Structure 1
Amino acid sequence: MSIWNILPRMHWHLPSLSALRTFEAAERHMSFTKAAVELNLTQSAVSRQIRLMEDYLGVELFQRVNQRLAVTEAGRAYAEEVRRVLHSLQEATLRLMSYQEQGGILHIATPSVFGVKWLIPRLHSFYSKHPDILLNIVTRSKPFDLESEKLDVAIHWGNNDWPNVVAHPLVGRELVPVCSPAYLQSIGTVKAPGDLAKAALLQHARRPNRWQEWFDAHGAGNVNAWAGARFEHFYLITQAAVAGLGVGLLPRMFVEDEVKSGRLVMLFDDGFEGSDIYHLVYPEHKSNDAKVGKFREWILKQAQEDGTKGSAA
């Protein structure tokens, strides 16, 4: 008797992968025609696949309401799950296709502005030293869950108050107030920190006390430090300052190009250091991971060479 007759068989109660892709596209576009264009099929082929799926599942996925396509409640719930599974399958496939036996893949999460302004311009030196390691970089605007998102390392901005991780300070502690030349002209001369009382102060939504810290450090604690629009990202604050919406308090490293080009004016240049800084963080159990170790060594050296607060501790 063959061993294949002894082993238990898996019975998958699933529509075909092509049918699932068709259903996902149809639900996302809420149109069989648009799904057909995306998948390079005919509209009748899409309609037929959906009908066969409904027959197989015994559940109605779409309805026609006033000659318009509408997804049923069951169809919407199923589409969300199908979309999640297809994304996971795609990620697994891409990881397999890009797998390199010697170095492997290092999964990194970073705030988008840090990735664009600081990390990516320096990556050529990492690849020159470690061409066998493939980097998979994703961006996040909020704190990441390293374990659930299967990340190896992440870049966090804060004061090292994250549990169960190893954190190394990198860059970004020095903050400078900037605005557009036109905005500066509109509010008049700014010679002392207290003169910013007449300005709109662009706020970082997750760090609302930064302006107050800056004024306190400059002996101008009586200024209303919360008078201004709030933004979730440094990038948005930078663009708001360039657009003349007010004065932004931003890491020097993010506005150097704008200051050099004349799009922004640095109002004071006294090296004020806030309490937060960008950190390299990773789970404690990855401390001895070879890929993490190589990236840690490289990025800490980059931070030190940047003349900032990088540390190899």
Structure 2
Amino acid sequence: MLMPRRFLPSLSLLTAFDATARTGSISQAARELNLTQSAVSRQIKTLEEQLEVPLFVRERQTIRLTLAGQTYAREVREALHRLSLASLNLRANPRGGTLNLAILPTFGTRWLAPRLPRFLAAHSGITINLVTRITQFDFRLEPVDAAIHFGAPDWPGAETVLLRREFVVPACSPALAAEYRFAAPDDLRRAPLLNLTTRPDAWERWFASHGARPSPVHGMLFDHFATAAQAAMSGLGVALLPTFLVEEELKRGELVPALDLITESAERYYLAWPADRATYPPLEAFRDWLLEETAADR
């Protein structure tokens, strides 16, 4: 069904509204858009007439958004961002084939990025854009075609496929290991324990899996494995780290196992995507390649 024209304002009206809403000033919006103040004022007035809703409160020489205008401004800004991103993607790859992928930060930098040149060499017509996300999100609200996810295979409104398992090891600097001389799981409680915000119960589960006494775990919090690993290398404490993400640090001796107890995580890594993108050619190609890359780790 064709939308009434008043619900589809022109781009010039929306950009004038967005600029004024962001700057809180018609004169600043006019300078940003290289227009006259009267032109911007007319565009905003036209938009309000089309929508039949006042978007600004005008008081003497000032202007501010109404409550309805505040809500509309957020949605218009997101819509303009999506249009801009679509144009940027098309310009970067005129033949199409852009894949917008959400990645876990450390997984993306440590595991995926070094392997991506192989994929791009085999699929030269595909452009991949990467954004970081550490938790699930609504695919309907994000301009993302797929996401690499750690956890359970359930993602509302999305399909998933298993990529790989994960094994974690309690790791620290050689100096910290020499200082504490850990001999049993309970010994780790004497040292500072480094925690990840997205896995708040990881240490409790690790201790329980090794028969250690139940007790709350406290310590520094980090939002990325990379920063937790760096903190561990700096001697700030013991971090529970995925072995495949810190292979190089372990090989170089910058990190050492506090205890030689490697444990498999209950969760797994998955590729997730909205059901309506399942047959999108760049996603199909990337999914097939990713499953080949992770075949030995499943």
TM-score range, shorter chain: 0.7 to 0.9
Deviation, 1:83, is 0.6
Deviation, 1:167, is 1.6
Structure-1 separation of matches of 2:8 and 2:154: 45
Aligned partner of 1:27 in structure 2 is 21
1:136 aligns with 2:136: no
TM-score by length of 2: 0.76
Aligned partner of 2:56 in structure 1 is 61
Structure-1 separation of matches of 2:274 and 2:242: 26
Paired positions, count: 291
Structure-1 separation of matches of 2:8 and 2:90: 23
Matches within 5 A, 1:198-217: 198-217=190-209
The verdict on how the C-alpha distance between 1:92 and 1:191 changes in structure 2, with shifts beyond 3 A counting, is same
With 267-276 and 226-235 compared, the bigger mean Cα shift is at 226-235
Deviation, 1:108, is 2.3
1:222 to 189, 200, 213: 213
SS of structure 2 residue aligned to 1:78: helix
The verdict on how the C-alpha distance between 1:282 and 1:78 changes in structure 2, with shifts beyond 3 A counting, is closer
- The code of the aligned residue for 2:80 comes to L
Tell me the alpha carbon deviations over residues 44-72 of structure 1, each in whole angstroms, 9 at most, x when there is no partner. x464444223433264626569x876444
Tell me the alpha carbon deviations over residues 158-212 of structure 1, each in whole angstroms, 9 at most, x when there is no partner. 14344662422325x1112223466657x63323322111123223334333212
Q: Is the 8 A contact 2:164 2:270 kept in 1?
A: yes
2:161 to 158, 161, 167: 167
1:237 aligns with 2:228: yes
Matches within 5 A, 1:81-92: 81-92=75-86
Q: Is the 8 A contact 1:19 1:49 kept in 2?
A: no
RMSD: 3.8
1:190 aligns with 2:182: yes
The verdict on how the C-alpha distance between 1:248 and 1:92 changes in structure 2, with shifts beyond 3 A counting, is same
The verdict on how the C-alpha distance between 1:98 and 1:112 changes in structure 2, with shifts beyond 3 A counting, is same
Percent identity of paired positions between Structure 1 and Structure 2: 36
Aligned partner of 1:296 in structure 2 is 287
Aligned partner of 1:3 in structure 2 is none
Structure-1 separation of matches of 2:252 and 2:148: 28
The verdict on how the C-alpha distance between 1:263 and 1:71 changes in structure 2, with shifts beyond 3 A counting, is farther
- The code of the aligned residue for 1:251 comes to P
